[in-house]
């Protein structure tokens, strides 16, 4: 039996590749430490909770209730949150600032339709000056994650900021300061540096959701077990896309992960977008136009789909 979520609809996409960055002496594409709370505690994170609000690393409270996550218990009066600052080996250069973006994302599970929280990323100078920041409201009532109850139990959200010259530190904050008590879980926090290598446009639709599968049956006693673990993998095809470098073609052929930002078709909220890792599963080239290579492009989502509302 199936449970299909509202489709992702879009018209314009930016296609990026992960650049990686050096943190200390390590080259990495994931800048955060203990991002999945695999240490079973808040190692590398700062607990920003105040008074009775708490953030507790807990078994089976992460993605799909099968990994470690953090239970955020907001007392309805005081800030509930955690944060982490990452410092690169060298600051963003003027040239890198022209093309690079910093993207943060997080998986969240809410326990009520009214729950809200915030994901924020800030680029800092060596002296901790704020050189640019962005945030996204983590909401339980987004239609893209509606499970039929009017809200989604879980969702994946993301926010991006432009790289700015002299940024050398990045602070990721995940927090709530609700007017009433709420409990929510987080996992799979990501922070990456990406660069746009292609663009695409044209009306597209990609279904997201999950299937509920019967996993066991015992006919005599009527015992049955169901598991909501089969996530639908979305595929979308753009009728037109362009690349400004031949390197993108070889990256596609090598089946490399790319990062896709898909802007919504909602005329009243044109900044709404979905973001996800994907793989190019089909390319049809056309004759070059000027310095741009044109063609059609099919992308298959490879992992969680993030939503950003600004």
How many beta carbons lie within 10 A of that of residue 32, not counting itself? Answer: 20
The yes-or-no verdict on residue 3 having pLDDT over 80 is no
Q: Please state, as a whole number, how many other Cβ atoms lie within 10 Å of the Cβ of residue 232.
A: 16
Q: How many whole angstroms separate alpha carbon 158 and alpha carbon 136?
A: 7
Evaluate if residue 16 carries a pLDDT over 60.
yes
In this structure, the chain runs to a length of 310
The predicted-structure confidence for 265-306, as pLDDT tens digits, reads as follows: 654 555 667 777 777 776 666 555 555 556 677 788 776 677
User: What pLDDT is recorded for position 144?
Assistant: 58
What is the pLDDT at residue 230? Answer: 45
Q: Which carries the bigger pLDDT value, residue 94 or residue 19?
A: 94
Distance, CA of 35 to CA of 188 (rounded, Å): 6
More confident of the two residues 267 and 40: 40
Share of the chain above pLDDT 70, in %: 67
Confidence (pLDDT) at 229: 43
Q: 100: closest CA among 18, 190, 13?
A: 18
Distance CA 72, CA 112 (A): 13
pLDDT-derived band of residue 174, with 50, 70 and 90 as boundaries? very high
Is there a contact between 216 and 119 (Cβ–Cβ < 8 Å)? no
Q: Which pair of structure tokens corresponds to residue 208?
A: 């997201």
Give the integer Cα–Cα distance in Å for 118 and 180. 16
pLDDT in tens, 194-221: 887 777 777 777 666 555 454 454 444 4
pLDDT score recorded for residue 201: 73
* Higher-pLDDT residue of 82, 24: 82
Sheet with 116-124, edge to edge strand ranges: 46-47, 80-87, 169-176, 116-124, 130-139
Higher-scoring residue by pLDDT: 26, 196: 26
- Strand order across the 209-218 sheet: 2-4, 209-218, 223-231
Other beta carbons within 10 Å of 61: 20
User: How much is the pLDDT for 128?
Assistant: 97
Range in 55-59, 108-112, 153-157, 284-288 the model is least confident about: 284-288
Does residue 2 have a pLDDT over 80?
no
Buried/exposed 197-211: b ≥16 CB within 10 Å, e otherwise: bbbbebebebebbbe
| pLDDT score of 220 | 46
The CATH superfamily holding the domain 18-195 is Galactose-binding domain-like (2.60.120.260)
Q: Where are the domains of the chain?
A: 18-195, 199-308
* Longest Cα–Cα distance in the chain: 71
User: Average pLDDT, whole number, for the chain?
Assistant: 78
């Amino acid at each position: 039996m199936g449970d299909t979520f509202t489709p992702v609809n879009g018209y314009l996409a930016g296609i990026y590749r992960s650049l990686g960055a050096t943190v200390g002496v390590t080259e990495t594409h994931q800048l955060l430490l203990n991002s999945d709370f695999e240490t079973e505690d808040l190692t590398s994170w700062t607990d920003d909770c105040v008074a009775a609000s708490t953030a507790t690393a807990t078994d089976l409270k992460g993605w799909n209730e099968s990994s470690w996550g953090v239970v955020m218990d907001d007392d309805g009066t005081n800030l509930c949150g955690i944060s982490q600052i990452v410092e690169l080996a060298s600051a963003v250069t003027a040239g890198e600032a022209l093309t690079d973006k910093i993207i943060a994302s997080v998986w969240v599970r809410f326990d009520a339709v009214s729950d809200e929280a915030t994901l924020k990323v800030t680029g800092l100078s060596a002296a901790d000056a704020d050189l640019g920041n962005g945030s996204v409201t983590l909401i339980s009532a987004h239609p893209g994650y509606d499970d039929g109850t009017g809200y989604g139990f879980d969702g994946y959200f993301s926010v991006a900021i432009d790289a700015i010259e002299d940024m050398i530190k990045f602070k990721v904050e995940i927090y709530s300061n609700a007017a009433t008590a709420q409990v929510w879980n987080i996992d799979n926090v990501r922070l990456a540096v990406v660069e746009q290598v292609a663009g695409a446009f044209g009306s597209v639709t990609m279904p997201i959701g999950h299937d509920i599968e019967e996993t066991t049956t015992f006919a005599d006693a009527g015992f049955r077990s169901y598991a909501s673990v089969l996530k639908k993998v979305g595929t979308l095809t753009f009728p037109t896309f362009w690349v400004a470098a031949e390197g993108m073609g070889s990256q596609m052929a090598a089946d490399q992960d790319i990062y896709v930002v898909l802007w919504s078709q909602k005329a009243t909220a044109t900044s709404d977008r979905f973001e996800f890792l994907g793989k190019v599963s089909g390319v049809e080239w056309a004759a070059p136009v000027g310095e741009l290579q044109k063609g059609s492009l099919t992308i298959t989502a490879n992992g969680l789909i993030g939503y950003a509302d600004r």
